[in-house]
Amino acid sequence: MLLIRCPWCGMDRPEIEFRHAGAAHITRPGPPDRVSDEEWAAFLYLRDNPKGRVAERWRHVHGCGRFFNAVRDTVTDVFVVTYRAGEPRPPESAPPETLPPETRP
């Protein structure tokens, strides 16, 4: 069982207290009459499935109840960083391939 750091509680808490909630940083386009079918379809259905670091939404559902974002490595399952919903993805959590080689983990 993984430990996940809740950025609201400020604690590492057991994985079973959390619920995964899909990809992070997806903006709901609007208003409806100004959104193209393609844009809406992308919002509804198109998601990246990268090997490596991915930004996800999680909810501390059996804890403080808050949604937050997490960058997780899909290869190692390591949570690189967690941060509150609405905050930008921390630059240090960028995918390793975009970092200079000497700083790659």
Partner 1 sequence: MTAFRSPAGGRIDRSKPIRFTFDGRQMHGHAGDTLASALLANGVHLVGRSFKYHRPRGIVSAGAEEPNALVTIDRGGGRETPNLRATQVELHEGLVARSQNRFPGLRFDIGGINNAFSRFLGAGFYYKTFMGPRALGGTKLWARLFEPAIRRAAGLGRAPAGPDPDCYANRFAHCEVLVIGGGEAGLAEALRRSEDPACRVILCDEQAEFGGWMLVEAPERADEMVEALSARPNVTLLPRSQAFGAYAQNFVAIAQQLADPLALSDPELPRERLWQVRAGEVVLASGAIERPLVFPDNDRPGILLAGAAETYLRRYGVLPGRKIAILTACDTAYGAAFALQDAGAEIVAIAETRTAQGASEIAARAVARGIPVLPGMTIVGTTGHLRVSGVQLGRIRPDGAAEPSGGFTADTVLMSGGWTPSIHLFSQTKGKLRWEEGLGAYLPATPAPGQTIRVIGAAAGEMPPEMRSPAIGALPAPGSPDKVKAFVDFQNDVTARDLRLATREGFRAIEHVKRYTTTGMATDQGKTSNLNALGIIAAETGRSVPEIGLTTFRAPYTPVTFGLFAGQARGDLFDPVRRTPMHDWAERNGAVFEDVGAWKRAHYFLPRRPVDAAASGHAAMHEAVQAECRKVREAVGLFDASTLGKIEVVGPDAAEFLERAYVNPVRSLAVGRCRYALLLNEAGFIIDDGIIARLAEDRFHVTTTTSGAARVFGMFEDYLQTEWPDLKVWQTSVTEHWAVMAVQGPRARDIIADLVEGIDLSNAAFPHMAVREGRIAGMPCRLFRVSFTGELGYEINVPAGLALPLWERLAERAAEFGGGPYGTEAMHVLRAEKGHIIVGQDTDGTMTPDDMGLGWAIGKKKPDFIGKRGLMRPDLVAPGRKQLVGLVAEDRSRVLEEGAQIVPDSLAPAGTHALGHVTSAYFSAALGHGIALAVVEDGRNRVGQVLHIPMERETIAVRVVEPVFLDPEGTRLHG
Partner 2 sequence: MVDGFVDTPRFRLIEAPPLARFVLRAPDAALKAAGKAYGLALPEGLNQGASHGERGKPGARVALHLGPDEWWLIVPEAEGPEVAAALEAALASHPHSLVEVSHRQVGFVLEGEGAAALLNAGCPLDFSEQAFPPGMATRSLFHRVGLMIWRMAPGLFRLEIDRTLAPYFVTALAEAAKDHS
Site residues for partner 1 per CB under 8 A: 1-3, 19, 21, 28-33, 35, 37, 40-41, 43-44, 57, 59, 61, 65-67, 76-78, 85-86, 105
The one among 9, 21, 26, 85 contacting partner 2 by CB under 8 A = 9
Q: Which does 5 bind (CB under 5 to 8 A by kind): partner 2, partner 1, Zn ion, none?
A: none
Q: Does 9 bind Zn ion (CB under 5 A)?
A: yes
Q: Does 14 bind partner 2 (CB under 8 A)?
A: yes
Integer-rounded Cα Rg, in Å, for the chain is 15
**How many residues of this chain interact with Zn ion, rule: CB under 5 A?**
6
Which residue, 4 or 55, is less far from partner 2 as judged by CB? 4
Q: Which helix (H) or strand (E) holds 30?
A: none
Do the beta carbons of residue 93 and residue 80 sit within 8 Å? yes
Owner of token pair 């057991």: 14
We find the least distance from the C-beta atom of residue 15 to partner 2, in angstroms, to be 9
Q: Which of residues 46-105 bind partner 2 (CB under 8 A)?
A: 62-66
Each residue of 3-36: b (16+ CB within 10 Å) or e?
A: ebebbeeeeebeeebbeeeeebeeeeeeeeeeee
Owner of token pair 């974002």: 69
